[in-house]
Amino acid sequence: MTRMTPFSNPLLLGFETMEKTLDRLNKSGDGYPPYNIVRLSGEEPNERLRITLAVAGFTPENLDVTVEDNQLIIRGRQTDDEEFEYLHRGIASRQFQRAFVLADGIKVGAAELKNGLLSIDLERPAPEKRVKRITISAIDDE
C-alpha cells in the first residue's frame, strides 16, 4: 500500500527533501531543553526571530551552536563534578541536542547566555520577487 503525503501531488516538483525533513521532525520527541520562539517587533523589512532555550547550569563552554546545511543545532554537554559526594542528586547533568530546520535565506546572528537562558537571533531578509521569462523557440516542420 502506497503512503499518500501532501507532497505526492504531481504539481509539487522538487519537494522530496522537504518531505524527509518533516518525517525527521515528527520523530524527534524529546522536549529537553524547553524553548521559546518569538518574533521580534521592528520597522525593518527583514523578519527577526529569537529562539530562547532554558539551559540552567550550562556555561558557554558546555554549549555548542552550529549551522549544518539548513539546520541550526544546539548541543549541550555537562561533565559530572567528581569533587563532591552527593547525598541527594535531583539536578542531573544531562547532555542534549536540539535541532531547528531553517528555511532558505535565514541567517543566524548572535548567541547570548544570560541567567540560564540561551538566546539565538535569526534574521530572514525580505524576499525578492523573481520573475524569469522563458524564451520559446519555434521549430519549423518540413
Q: Give the model's confidence band at 7: pLDDT under 50 very low, under 70 low, under 90 confident, else very high.
A: low
Q: What is the pLDDT of residues 73-119, one digit of tens each?
A: 999 998 777 788 888 888 777 899 999 989 888 999 999 999 999 99
Q: Is the dihedral of CA 94, 64, 18, 38 positive or negative?
A: positive
- CATH class for the domain made up of 17-81+89-124: mainly beta
Q: What is the mean pLDDT of the chain?
A: 84
Q: Give domain limits for the chain.
A: 17-81+89-124
For residue 20, pLDDT beyond 90? no
Q: Does the reported pTM lie above 0.95?
A: no
